[in-house]
Chain A
Amino acid sequence: MRYIANTDADRQAMLDAIGRSSLDELFSDIPQTVADRFRPIGIPPQSEFDVVRTLSAIASDNPAAKMVPFLGEGIYDHYTPSIVSHITGRSEFYTAYTPYQPEISQGTLTTMFEYQTLVCELVGMEVANASMYDGATALAEAALMADRIRKTGRIAVARSLHPHLRRTLDTYCWAAGIERIELPFDSAGRCDSSNVPQDVSAVIVQTPNTFGVLERLEGLKERIGEALLIVSTYPIALGILEPPGSYGADIVVAEGQSLGLPMAFGGPLLGLFATRPEYLRQMPGRVAGRTLDEDGNIGYVMASQTREQHIRRQRATSNICTNSALCALAATVYLATLGADGLRQIAELNLEKAHYLADRLTGLDGVDLLFDAPFFNEFILRVSEDPGTLCARAKAAGFLVSPLRGFDELDDTHAVRIAVTEKRSKEELDALTDVVGGRA
């Protein structure tokens, strides 16, 4: 086997050294009945060439990869600068593990520190961890954290969250015995926070929300009393939007895929997690901190480890250990390459192109926006025909468009989700308009 360095002669010498007669003898401690029941998978080895051929064939059976996506719902088709994969492809980064030995992990630790700074800057908070698995688990952990702090056993959740965020949140809260109270959305597609129940540990909203609509966060923190305000957001939008931290959010989470990660059929992703300094001890996940070495030089280590599972065991703030470190590095390189100006430019392109397309589409007969509220780069279109028919027509033209899913209360509505990124050209936007208008 190509990945094993030892020869038969090496193996014999090693067996001799340990006084064993065969490799089989090394497994004599496995109970005989267990060994007898063993069955192989039933597959032969393949050459590297065959592996590439097989995987290439499987990859080519995914025509969606070659189509033009107008899909959104938390995962977006943004452009990733070439430099990102060149840096994450350096094996010093990707073949290392958790920086348990900081003196030979300064690369990873310094980038964690940069990443935390960038996340705080984007979302307007003071403390961020080094990453969670994805935006959904980041949100679920935020809910658990809020209930550890407030201990009411109840949280209020805006219904206008992405369905996959709700699903994951529901699972974690169910296991933790936390009751979820749903906050409806109003006719403008915004969370109706006029009747937030008292005695909840947190209020959870998402902006832009799953309809693409920007939530109104002014005054929300004041209206919810002692409850923590948890906001899930979209990092690219923060290139131009006022960050949740400015509205008094206590915890901000986000799906970080848009920051230089491929859509990757939904994984690996990147969970951003930021909070206030007073909640540091309750924050899940690891965090890098600046310190000094014996010569007084600046260096970085994993800080506040006393909260973590390897020290606190069952009293830890979370069980998370391995996270999304390499994805966080990608996001760091992405933001370092763009800079504040570049990020604003990308965000503006998203917004302008989405609004151009929305204007064109709503100029068609029988087509309008389901919600009349400010949006960033995603919106819900109300059409007069069956959404499935429209999506099939788009597919035939090479465009990926999806019906709005996961909202039973809108079942009678013919609703289609459209998301637009900086990658969509005017030609593509115009062509989609023709498809929706039935002219293609």
Chain B
Amino acid sequence: MNTIFELNQSHRSEGTGLVPELDVPRRGVEDAIGASHVRSRPLRIPSLAEPTVARHYTKLSKLNFGVDDGFYPLGSCTMKYNPKVNEDVARLPGFSCLHPLSDPALVQGALRLIYESQEWLGAIAGLPAVALQPAAGAHGELTGMFLFRRHFEQRGETQRVRILLPDSAHGTNPASAAVAGFSVTQVPSLADGTVDVDALRAELDDTVAGVMLTVPNTLGIFEPRILEITQAVHDAGGLCYFDGANLNSFFGRARPGDMGADVFHFNQHKSLSTPHGGGGPGSGPVAVSSVLEDYLPVPRVVHSAGTYSLQWDVPASIGSVQSFFGNFLVAVKAFAYILQLGDEGLRAVSENAVLNANYLQERLKATYDLPHDGLCKHEFVLSGKGIADGISTLDIAKRLIDHGFHPPTIYFPLIVKEALMIEPTETESKETLDRFAEAMEAVAEEARNTPELLHEAPHHAPVRRLDQTRATREPVLTYPFEDS
């Protein structure tokens, strides 16, 4: 595939035609700022005619696979349908053309939307206060860890430097705790995939700041002893962080605040249907218990006597974790989604997500190893182990591409060997699930009879299997210009 640097250039002599020509007297760049500030070497960005640009990126888009292209059961990522209307409302000029430093009196609508989002997310979480500033899920985790740190700093308990982390927790958790300056102690799972509560209790002492829990966990299992866990942590003076990646499984049924959460983060790009954008932008608001409210990032959006305003003077606040108010346009899309679904629709989301997952799990366990059998929530984890000699989960994933599906998450969670983590979401039909199950069965059959089909897969993708090792060993991370 060519890049823009390899396309035919058009020889443009005058301006771009995109904006009007200069309409004030020309002073000259060098005269204005001095020659020493002026770029000495021309930029190597090609001059392309607009049709060339349009065709190039349209061609590239066709090499991608999105939710609109087909089933995308990427476990832990909640690849549900992204409603089109949400894209439209986020592009309303009344939202997109707002400068973040405008006088609050002139942006009351935007502040109201942020405030009401805070209220709704707080109601979903069962927690009293919400901040929309974190820009993604992992950023919400980091913000949560900052809040923990501030809490213990304020209490003079700075010896609390450890975070307990079940090995079934979400993948970004350990790094989030570490970036916030905590050390991580891993807590093992029992054979049934749930947290080993005794092992967790044994770690609890006055060096523990808290625990990061993923409910339901990355195996799709709802922790049966969740109340016991949070009670034990609180009794030991610690705090409880709940990773929100799996909210899609309990909308309308349960609230983290009722389970003992002190912080719960939302992935608006997962549970609340805002698109994933090829890897962002996401949005990761945090909801907190009253214990942590005073530490939330500034500015806070508050409401009083019919007016929305920004509150800056919050002495105990951790400060800011992003430039302004978080990913506002993503919040607009999530707001529209909640508005359209209402309580009834949100409950239907979890019901259908969980039904789809259990149905698919039941169909596939006859063919694939299911290490943790039983009622699952929105996702489940198979193992590719033992499907056929010499066949890896990677081979299975690549062959699924030939069958027209995006592969599941693979090799995660780490506690399942050769993991295939499958999350169908509520927006998929039984018909699609059946077709996917048939493809998985066909791949298992091929693995035994024609293993080379898997080893050499994909056969029907825009490129054949790519050499990952080469990209790391001999990194080519920018276009190699001939004149450099």
Shortest CB-to-CB span from B170 to chain A, Å, is 10
Whether B19 pairs with A42 at a CB distance below 8 angstroms is no
Shortest CB-to-CB span from A269 to chain B, Å, is 6
Residues on A with beta carbons closer than 8 Å to the beta carbon of B175: 309, 312-314, 316, 318-319
Whether B60 pairs with A110 at a CB distance below 8 angstroms is yes
Whether B358 pairs with A137 at a CB distance below 8 angstroms is no
Shortest CB-to-CB span from B4 to chain A, Å, is 5
B156 in the interface (beta carbon within 8 A): no
Complex CA gap A190/B192 in Å reads: 62
A346-360: which residues lie under 8 A (CB-CB) from chain B? 346, 348-349, 351-353, 355-356
- If A34-B226, A65-B98, A83-B53 touch, whether A323 touches B355 (CB-CB below 8 Å) is no
Residues on A with beta carbons closer than 8 Å to the beta carbon of B155: none
Complex CA gap A96/B478 in Å reads: 23
Within 8 Å by CB of B466, from A92, A102, A175, lies A102
Whether A171 pairs with B4 at a CB distance below 8 angstroms is no
Whether B320 pairs with A168 at a CB distance below 8 angstroms is yes
B271 in the interface (beta carbon within 8 A): no
B290-346: which residues lie under 8 A (CB-CB) from chain A? 297-298, 318-330, 332, 335-336, 338-346
- If A94-B278, A265-B324 touch, whether A29 touches B224 (CB-CB below 8 Å) is yes
B461-476: which residues lie under 8 A (CB-CB) from chain A? 461-468, 470-472, 475-476
Question: Which of A26, A42, A95, A99 has the most chain B CB atoms inside 10 A of its CB?
Answer: A95
What 1/0 mask marks residues of chain B from 181 to 217 whose CB sits below 8 Å from any chain A CB? 1011000000000000000000000000000000000
Chain B residue at smallest Cβ distance from A87: B57
Residues on A with beta carbons closer than 8 Å to the beta carbon of B363: 17
Within 8 Å by CB of A341, from B12, B64, B430, lies B12
Residues on B with beta carbons closer than 8 Å to the beta carbon of A58: 94, 109-110, 112-113
A21 in the interface (beta carbon within 8 A): no
Whether B470 pairs with A291 at a CB distance below 8 angstroms is yes
Complex CA gap A262/B94 in Å reads: 11
Whether A429 pairs with B463 at a CB distance below 8 angstroms is no
Residues on A with beta carbons closer than 8 Å to the beta carbon of B354: 26-27
What 1/0 mask marks residues of chain B from 419 to 453 whose CB sits below 8 Å from any chain A CB? 00000001111111000000000000000000000
Within 8 Å by CB of A64, from B66, B91, B99, lies B99
Question: Which of B319, B325, B410, B431 has the most chain A CB atoms inside 10 A of its CB?
Answer: B319
Residues on B with beta carbons closer than 8 Å to the beta carbon of A3: 80-81, 83, 273, 426-427
Whether B320 pairs with A164 at a CB distance below 8 angstroms is yes
User: Which of A74-82, A191-199, A222-230, A362-370 contacts its partner?
Assistant: A74-82
Residues on A with beta carbons closer than 8 Å to the beta carbon of B135: 133-134, 137, 267-268, 324
B401 in the interface (beta carbon within 8 A): yes
A4 in the interface (beta carbon within 8 A): yes
A389 in the interface (beta carbon within 8 A): no
User: Which of A181-189, A299-307, A408-416 contacts its partner?
Assistant: A299-307
What 1/0 mask marks residues of chain A from 155 to 180 whose CB sits below 8 Å from any chain B CB? 00000000011011011101111000
Residues on B with beta carbons closer than 8 Å to the beta carbon of A346: 16, 19
Shortest CB-to-CB span from A246 to chain B, Å, is 7
Residues on B with beta carbons closer than 8 Å to the beta carbon of A133: 135-136, 139, 280-281, 322
Whether B344 pairs with A45 at a CB distance below 8 angstroms is yes
Whether B27 pairs with A264 at a CB distance below 8 angstroms is no
Whether B83 pairs with A395 at a CB distance below 8 angstroms is no
- If A137-B321, A175-B146, A262-B97 touch, whether A286 touches B279 (CB-CB below 8 Å) is yes
How many residues on B have C-beta within 8 angstroms of the other chain's C-beta atoms? 204
A151 in the interface (beta carbon within 8 A): no
Residues on A with beta carbons closer than 8 Å to the beta carbon of B265: none
What 1/0 mask marks residues of chain A from 412 to 440 whose CB sits below 8 Å from any chain B CB? 00000000001101100100000000000
Residues on A with beta carbons closer than 8 Å to the beta carbon of B476: 289-291
Complex CA gap A333/B96 in Å reads: 19
Complex CA gap A375/B57 in Å reads: 36
- If A29-B224, A104-B461 touch, whether A325 touches B280 (CB-CB below 8 Å) is yes
Within 8 Å by CB of A104, from B60, B406, B477, lies B406
Complex CA gap A290/B25 in Å reads: 46
Whether B45 pairs with A322 at a CB distance below 8 angstroms is no
Shortest CB-to-CB span from A286 to chain B, Å, is 7
Chain A residue at smallest Cβ distance from B54: A83
Chain A residue at smallest Cβ distance from B181: A175
Whether B39 pairs with A242 at a CB distance below 8 angstroms is yes
Give 18 new A-B contacts, CB below 8 A, not counting A114-B4, A172-B321. Answer: A30-B254, A41-B123, A43-B120, A43-B342, A75-B101, A93-B66, A105-B64, A117-B3, A121-B44, A174-B318, A262-B97, A291-B476, A302-B471, A303-B471, A309-B171, A313-B184, A322-B279, A426-B24
